[in-house]
Amino acid sequence: MLKTLKELDKLTNAVDFNLLWDGFSKTKYAVYNDKNFHINDGRGLNLDLKKDEFGFIGNVDERFMGNTAIKIDNEYVAIWDQRTISAGMDDAKLASVIIHEMFHCFQASYGEKRYGNEILGIEYPIEKENIALRSLERQYLYDAVFENNKHKKNELLIRYFSIRNKREKLIGNVIDYEKGIESLEGTAVFVEFQALKQLTPEKRCLELLKEYLGSFSEINIDNLAIRRSSYNQGMVLCVIADDLLPNWKQKYQKSDLYLSDFILNELKIKIRQSEDNLLLSSEVDACLEDWKKQRDLIFSNFENKTDKIVANSGVQMTGFDPMNIVKRDKEIMHQSFLRVILDNKEQIIAGPVKTIIGDHIFDIKKMEWLKEKNIS
């Protein structure tokens, strides 16, 4: 562990943060497990810390949850759960994703408010026409980022924004969920990508970009995970902005527009009525059917478990993980955790936790969880 932490500090110190984003600089960061956290710099923090070979070590509390940015006293700290470090994640990649979380600290410090409304995300319409249009839109965006001919790139962007405009009319303000995720998380993935470019100079930029995007333009279940798949939509928009809009970052940072709307305005693209002949293909049908089967399996696996605890009233939700939530009509499965006030006490229940809701996600009529799961 300490070897990894020392390498992380070496790598993050090697990155020129100002090249990633104007005014961005390294923040404090911590790597933690279920008991302890190691933080690179404990100065100025009101924590019970002990000096160790890396920096400082302390005991985790309820703030240490997920990979994110948290506030300790008046300072934002990037945190990363050691248990989510996969076997194939090398030190350079780990450093880049921690820099991603540092960028969230930076966003919080300047008051970034363009985030995705998670309530909209829960109600997001996984429906045939919207998904078919979204897939076509992503194909145009993917083609645009790799197109070198300026005229062809512009034409692809016109098609991209025209399809997005058509989807906006189709699903209304729910499109703001994607726009918000692109704006907050997409810019952080862009910064992560730029950091990895600095840390792995032997890789050509286009090769690295293709690695990041993977099956971006395919019709598959992964791309129906709207929150996660919107991260790379935002990253691609940033790469395009970097190519076409010199010195755009500070202007965007001061803007109130979502990232895609900002780029649309700055490039002065004229929306036109989409002339694309949209084929609602059997491929889309098959993908949606697989998605429904996967969703239903998550619920049936839970329902087949015995020895569950049930609360039929008096549940007040105070926090949930939007990355690991599945909705089916009025049933919601929280797969990682749910934070609630129950019996006048705030508690964290490890997932899976099933809720049945009324008018909205916070209107919990019934909650079920496995008896074997600990409540903290």
Residue 272's pLDDT is what?
87
Confidence of residue 53 (pLDDT cuts 50, 70, 90): confident
For the segment 114-165, what is each residue's pLDDT rounded down to a tens digit? 999 998 999 899 999 999 999 999 999 999 999 999 999 999 999 999 999 9
Residue 16's pLDDT is what?
97
CB < 8 Å & 24+ apart, contacts of 258-266: 258/114, 258/176, 258/179, 258/180, 258/182, 258/183, 259/114, 259/179, 259/182, 259/183, 259/186, 259/187, 259/234, 260/161, 260/164, 260/179, 260/182, 260/183, 261/179, 263/237, 264/161, 266/241
Residue 107's pLDDT is what?
97
Residue 202's pLDDT is what?
87
pTM: 0.92
The span from the CA of 285 to the CA of 296, in Å, is 17
Q: What is the CA radius of gyration of the chain?
A: 22
Residue 206's pLDDT is what?
87
The span from the CA of 16 to the CA of 12, in Å, is 9
Q: Does pLDDT of 55 surpass 90?
A: no
Select from 121, 144, 143, 157 the least CA-distant residue to 272: 157
For the segment 173-224, what is each residue's pLDDT rounded down to a tens digit? 999 999 999 999 999 999 999 999 999 988 888 899 999 999 999 999 999 9
Burial letters 47-80, b for 16+ CB under 10 A, else e = bebeeeebbbbbebeeebbebbbbebeebbbbbb
Burial letters 117-151, b for 16+ CB under 10 A, else e = ebebbbebebeeebbbbbbbbbbbbbbbbebeeee
Residue 74's pLDDT is what?
86
The span from the CA of 356 to the CA of 205, in Å, is 47
Residue 204's pLDDT is what?
87
- What is the rounded average pLDDT for all residues in the chain? 92
- Number of Cβ within 10 Å of residue 32's Cβ equals 21
List C-alpha distances in Å: 66 to 41, 249, 372.
Answer: 20, 28, 22
Residue 43's pLDDT is what?
82
Confidence of residue 1 (pLDDT cuts 50, 70, 90): low
**Strand 29-32 relative to strand 75-81, pairing:** parallel
The span from the CA of 335 to the CA of 352, in Å, is 4
Confidence of residue 168 (pLDDT cuts 50, 70, 90): very high
For the segment 15-24, what is each residue's pLDDT rounded down to a tens digit? 999 999 999 9
For the segment 291-347, what is each residue's pLDDT rounded down to a tens digit? 999 999 999 999 999 889 999 988 999 999 988 999 999 999 999 999 999 988 998
Q: Does pLDDT of 375 surpass 80?
A: no
The span from the CA of 8 to the CA of 94, in Å, is 8
For the segment 69-102, what is each residue's pLDDT rounded down to a tens digit? 999 888 999 999 998 888 788 899 999 999 999 9
Residue 10's pLDDT is what?
93
Burial of 248 (0-12, 13-18, 19+ CB in 10 A): middle
The span from the CA of 13 to the CA of 98, in Å, is 12
Q: Does pLDDT of 279 surpass 90?
A: no
Confidence of residue 47 (pLDDT cuts 50, 70, 90): confident
In the structure encoding, which two tokens stand for residue 165, read together? 């405009």
Q: Does pLDDT of 62 surpass 90?
A: no
Residue 44's pLDDT is what?
79
